[in-house]
Amino acid sequence: MRIDKFLKVSRLIKRRTVANEACDAGRILVNGKVVKASYDVKEGDVIEIRFGQKSVRAEVLQISETTKKDEAKELFRFV
């Protein structure tokens, strides 16, 4: 699954367009490397999202095409 879609489905970022823009700006890292929106996410990847001075790290636990709001937290865990 593309990283921009995973970020939206997992609710780490609310909209896919915002996830796309964050990737284009170089604010999304996977396993320590800056990635494009088309990067293929795999289970076990560690995603880092930079918001100004803060950053959020999450490990991908599972991948799902769709999910309900209350089940979205099961797709990742914060590191």
Give the mean pLDDT of the chain.
95
Banded pLDDT at 57 (limits 50, 70, 90): very high
The answer for 50, left when phi > 0, alpha when psi is -120 to 50, beta otherwise, is: beta
Please classify residue 67 by burial: count the beta carbons closer than 10 Å to its beta carbon, then call 0-12 exposed, 13-18 middle and 19+ buried: middle
Cβ atoms of 65 and 75 closer than 8 Å: no
CATH number of 3-78: 3.10.290.10
Domain ranges of the chain: 3-78
Span 38-51, mean pLDDT? 96
Banded pLDDT at 52 (limits 50, 70, 90): confident
Residue of 59, 58, 41 lying closest to 4 (CA atoms): 41
The b/e string for 34-55 (b: 16+ C-beta within 10 A; e otherwise) is ebebebebeeebebbbeeeeee
- pLDDT by residue (tens digit) across 2-31? 999 999 999 999 999 999 999 999 999 999
Span 44-65, mean pLDDT? 95
